[in-house]
Amino acid sequence: MSEQVPENHHEVLSLISEISRAVRCCQQEAVFCENVTFSQFFILDTVARSGSLKLSELHKILSVDKSTTTRLVDPLVTQGLIVREKSSRDSRAVNLKLTKEGKSVRQRVWTCLSGFLDALESEIPKTKRAEVYDAVRTFLNATRNACAAKCNV
């Protein structure tokens, strides 16, 4: 006996698949701009916005394995864009900070990225942008919550 799959399940699965394909350019490990990948730029930007960030906090923000976080950070350290510093409060903790060159590269990547973001934004009617961004945030939160519930079952 075969179960009927609700039509809305097909629609949701299709949306997830389409979103995944649409943002694939942001998930690739290829160099994006200024000799960093999109993921590495996200790390540079996240560290810059916090000033100093614990490696363990970055791991949570990225929602990836600790080894993956290290694998993404290592090239940034090698390139002299980020420094690792031992925490003065906890000898096991490592803080990440941008170097002067890291700040400069971050700014240049933002310049490079601006054209892409402008093009993306121009595809969304100005009068609907707030509504679209809110709907996407709602969908992402629902997806995260459903995934978290599925993993905790």
Query: 22 falls in which pLDDT band (50, 70, 90)?
Result: confident
pLDDT top residue among 98 and 114: 98
User: Where are any strands of DSSP class E within 70-109?
Assistant: 82-86, 94-98
Question: What's the pLDDT at 27?
Answer: 64
Q: How confident is the model at residue 26 (pLDDT cuts 50, 70, 90)?
A: low
Tell me if 60 sits within 8 A of 68, measured CB to CB: no
CB count in 10 Å sphere of residue 139 = 14
Of residues 135 and 7, the one with the higher pLDDT is 135
pLDDT value at position 143?
A: 86
Spell out the residues 6+ positions from residue 70 whose beta carbon is closer than 8 angstroms to its own: 55
Give the range with max mean pLDDT: 26-35, 57-66, 125-134: 125-134
pLDDT of residue 28: 62
CB-based contacts of 85, cutoff 8 Å, min separation 6: 52, 94, 95, 96, 97
Residue 29: predicted pLDDT: 63
Torsions phi, psi for 67 (to 5 deg): -65, -35
Between CA 77 and CA 81 the distance in angstroms is: 6
Contacts of 61 (CB under 8 A, 6+ apart): 46
Comparing CA positions, the residue from 130, 93, 95, 106 lying closest to residue 41 is: 106
Backbone torsion region of residue 53, taken as left when φ is above 0, otherwise alpha when ψ lies between -120 and 50, otherwise beta: beta
Query: What's the whole-model pTM score?
Result: 0.75
What is the band of 65 on the pLDDT scale with cuts at 50, 70, 90? Answer: confident
